[in-house]
Structure 1
Amino acid sequence: MTPAPDPAAILGAEDRRFLAMTESDLDTLAPLLADDLHFVHSNGMVEDKEEFLRKLRSGERRYRAYSALARSVHQEGGFSFVFGEADAEIERPGGGISTRMTYTAIYRHAPEPRLFAWHSVKSPAPAPPPAAKAGP
Structure 2
Amino acid sequence: MAPEYASDGLFSVKSDVFSFGVLLLEIISGKRSRGYYNQNTSHNLFGHAWKLWKEEIPLELVDTKLGDCSFQSQILHCIHVSLLCVQHDPEDRPGMSSVLIMLVSEFELPEPKQPGFFAKDSGEADSSTSNMQLSSTNEITITLLEAR
Q: TM-score, normalised by structure 1?
A: 0.27
Larger RCO (alpha carbons 8 Å, 6+ apart):
2
Which protein has the bigger helix share?
A: 2
